[in-house]
Amino acid sequence: MQIVFGQILIILLYVLIGYFAGKGGLINPDQRKYLTRICTDLIMPFTVLSAVNQDITPQQMVHLGLILILLLIMSTIFFSVSLPLIVFIGTRFL
């Protein structure tokens, strides 16, 4: 778990460096597009794959399953609340 946390911190550091480089004018919008694509298409999947290669105990698998179930429930609630709200706002104000 510490390895994954360290990798997330490294990615966060890269994001901050990119943000300040963009604000400072070191990276133009065209370069920013390609750097974003490299991060999303290469770096993030490899981070996930390296996290999968770790030894996971059965108790951790149960916890991960519970987290997955909670995420699915939360996303279902979010979408079931947000969709009628969007329809209401769209018919009310447009």
The domain segmentation of the chain, as residue ranges, is 1-54, 56-94
CA distances 19 to 27, 42, 50, 65, 91, Å, are: 9, 19, 25, 34, 38
Residue range 8-29: mean pLDDT, rounded: 83
Asked if pLDDT for residue 2 goes beyond 80, the answer is no
Residue range 82-90: mean pLDDT, rounded: 83
Residue range 4-18: mean pLDDT, rounded: 81
